[in-house]
């Protein structure tokens, strides 16, 4: 753990501060009481997690890639209800061979989830 020190001058003299990460405390006045802030190379966002322009339906055995915005990357995709296959990180979905509703779920790095229902329809003849 890397400890940083900082000298602060004031009217009364010098105050020595020491810190680990985001916390700085006055030395000699007891333990740090400030909450620790976790460091992340992946900044958080306050934008809600949502699917970007998803299709309302797909045909059986058709491929479509789901995209999301907001939340905290990386995202993880899964099938919440129904059938089909989905790539966990890219969001590429392969519809099942049987028509019916499918629930696609995305989970962000913070554990927030968003579900999207898509209808799988029989491909028209021709």
Q: What is the pLDDT along the chain (126 residues), one digit of tens a residue?
A: 443 433 333 344 443 334 444 444 444 445 545 444 444 455 566 799 999 999 999 999 999 999 999 999 999 999 999 999 999 999 999 999 999 999 999 999 999 999 999 999 999 998
Q: Quote the pTM value.
A: 0.65
Structural domains of the chain sorted by starting position, each given as residue range(s) with its CATH number in brackets: 1-39 (no CATH), 50-121 (2.60.40.10)
DSSP strands (E only) in 1-126 = 3-10, 13-20, 23-26, 50-51, 57-59, 63-65, 68-69, 76-81, 85-86, 92-94, 100-107, 113-121
């Amino acid at each position: 753990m890397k400890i940083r020190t900082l000298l602060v001058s004031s009217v009364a003299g010098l105050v020595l501060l020491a810190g680990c990460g985001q916390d700085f405390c006055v030395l000699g006045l007891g333990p740090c009481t400030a909450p620790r802030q976790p460091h992340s190379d992946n900044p958080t966002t306050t934008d809600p997690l949502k699917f970007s322009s998803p299709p309302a339906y797909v045909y059986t055995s058709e491929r479509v890639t789901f995209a999301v915005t907001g939340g905290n990357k990386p995202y993880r995709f899964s099938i919440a209800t129904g059938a089909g296959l989905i790539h966990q990180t890219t969001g590429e979905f392969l519809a099942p061979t049987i028509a019916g509703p499918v629930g696609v779920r995305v989970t962000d790095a913070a554990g927030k989830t968003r579900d999207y229902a898509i209808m799988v329809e029989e491909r028209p003849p021709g």
